[in-house]
Structure 1
């Protein structure tokens, strides 16, 4: 029976067998667990009642209900059923048995076709036969059988308690069983997938060989029953897990092998990657699955075969199983689940060797297929080869066309991005050039306004200098006339003077002239400073008027640079300083120069 729940809900440890999964689904369906798949404590009590003593059920509940939730999830229910089944075999309840698969237990609450009797004082080891429990009516392993198998085990020189398959293959072949039966038996007992057997596994293998030799119609179980394992070596605790059951059922495997043989007419034992993709894409299209090409590639990537671009018959069966699960709505697993991994793949990926009977089985299959060929079969095989080669060529041609189309689309997208980037860069360059041109125009206008203002100031200064020189000439002429008039009046009114008196009078006149000149210079200095202060404030307001025509940044810069206080030494503009220099050239007096220098300092 196939797994009925989604891979996302399968716990990796422990892994439930298909029979256990089916039994869990049946219980959940009977109690109407819903989408959450939760069973309350009172419901579970009714299900488990009469199967074991109350104290044993209480111990099992304590182990299964982790965290004392008061209810059981799907995983918890599976663990509880597994412990109940072990306890019904007479095994003491221990946590390690939660990881050991076992056939489903007998629950009297349900009306099942399989019935078992249980007595609390003397639990019975006899269980009804099933394909997953063990051989039908198989006798238990006796101590003599264990001793004989142990002797054979030691005769093959075990290393670290294990014997490789290559050493005991001849022993198994002496039994006369077909290679396919020995192949299946090895996969059954080598549940650790190491390519070698320990003593317990060897005893189990010899037991199954004896039973199969005595009863050729006997069907091997899919997993080892716990009773047989305990009888094989009861003094050793069971391993963490002996569940290596492959999820591929015999019916699915038979169908997959038939298809594999059809697509492998020359018996190479593998299919090429392109052919597998063609097959998966065709099946996906038949199932109306969206994006069949992507699904086929995902399945191949998930399989990750050991040999690149080749898939054996086990991997082909897994690919079909995953495709069927995806078609019915199960989530696509991100990696290959453990229950899907073929036994041979597990051995190789865990450092072990292959099944020692693999090559023999492949050779027998090839010989059997070749012996069945007749003329018509050979023609049909050759035609299939031609069809396969033609399909592969067409598929590769289609893949190449799709790859070229993807490259073309990628190139066009890249070129479009590059063109958009170039256009954006050109636009940014144009904007930068426009801004630079605007700045140059503003700078040219500012310089023109400054030059006009400077020429206007120079013209004002020139007129002031001319007016100053005219006033000085008038003052000197007036002083000269006054002096001459005074001299004339003095000559006319005063008698003749001697030389001493005349000399004294001349000295007095010179002193008066110097005082008059000093007073005149003082008046000129005050007038010059008044004109300078007035022109300085006029220039300041003109500068501010020029700055208003500029942008905001220029206005702020002008205010910082042109802010004037009460004197030029406390922060004046360059233009104002030029005006002061021109004033210094006009005022040639040493006294004015010294006063101006002191103020400038």
Structure 2
């Protein structure tokens, strides 16, 4: 790469061709500059192709510096290639320096100048000049900010006379159009924009007022001292936020208001300093405004108009030119000398014009080549556009297919996710079912064991049931016999009750003697031995009068073994209903063997004895009847218990 000094020189060359900071150098300007290296056309053509590898038709800053480095390599006899750019390359040697304003071509083209002159003539110039009032509407029609228009006016008013001639108006319009193209407005007028008639006699002399004006302005000092000017310039730079070299009312309002000066006084000071009524102040005008504000703070009111020593130096030239009549003669002498200088400059410019014409011919040749390349590029571009159109339809189809595939992919992903969730749920259900099956198998095994046990128990119960049925049948037979016996006892009881009533009847009217007589008469043929014989004779008074009675328990005692001992509690009885034998006591019908006396029946029986005997017999029968009823109730409960047991065991 190039060294630091060489790089600074390269950047200096670039700023000469791009003073506006556009970031590029047109092909014509670059070709004219490179030709000053003295190299052959073929070498310059190769250098251009290496610098403009993308075929843009212009050189940016990097490409321009590469071109300069390649020119330097060619001048030093080295191979012109990009690989050699890494070596230390000195700046190239150019035949002429394009930095002088007197040698720079005017940037305003002829057709532009004619258009601007037409506009100038329609504004009714006076003595070839337009005042600010006439130019202001034209500038405002551009809709550019007032700050930019103020800068354009200051740059185009080269002689600072407050008016614009045709050339200055052309410069102003050129700057306006460039600003409309979004190009920055420079803070100082570039040399190529200075009209040739307003350029100095030498490249080093900047355009400015005439020597007579300069002498006149030096005679009056400015009220703002250099120290105050530096202080006010610092404040101005802080207030100039957009860095355009001007400040508006909004930018300096706070600065002015801090002084405490009334607003009407500040407005008057602003009017005095803004001589052109542009709504803007440059650095000198701002410094004057600050000086007047400080004077007001000290108690000195601002004047109604500026005195000569108050006028900023840059504004004195136009005023002194119109008021200093005494220096006209001297100025004429100076103008004469300037005419001579201009004549010499005209000769120099004529020579330069010849060179420029040759350069124009070279540029035209280069432009023709470029036009051929442009035509070829356009043909290639058209072919590429056709190919692009032909390729666009398949690409659109592919885009649609891609979108459809992406949609299907999303759908498949969603289905996969749902299936995965379903498989997870099924696995969970399978695990749960397997666990449930295992539990049910365990329960089934237990149920089988219990079933086997129940079957064994059922067999045992069936066997017991058969035995119970046999016993039940015997019990039922016994119950029936008991019922028959109860009926017989009831008959006997009825007979005894009838006998008792008969006795009571006989005792009542006849007394005991009648009873004894009746009994003696009735039983005269029989003898009643109360000690050894049955008072009822040999015949059982309770014997059945119909069929012979067979004892059902004679063959086998059905209650020999208590088969219901284990199920007494289940049958609802707290005790065995057959535990007590109602006939275990003394036979109520047996003869009293305790007495050995034998006497005639009713021989010694009194009426009280007969009543007592009848009462006792009646009570005994009543008790026996109650015992039989209890026995019958117990037998019924037993039968019901057996029936419940059978239904519980499922026996039909």
The two structures have a TM-score, normalised by structure 1, of 0.26
- Structure with higher Rg: it is 2
User: Bigger relative contact order, structure 1 or 2, given CA contacts below 8 A and separation 6+?
Assistant: 1
The two structures have a TM-score, normalised by structure 2, of 0.24
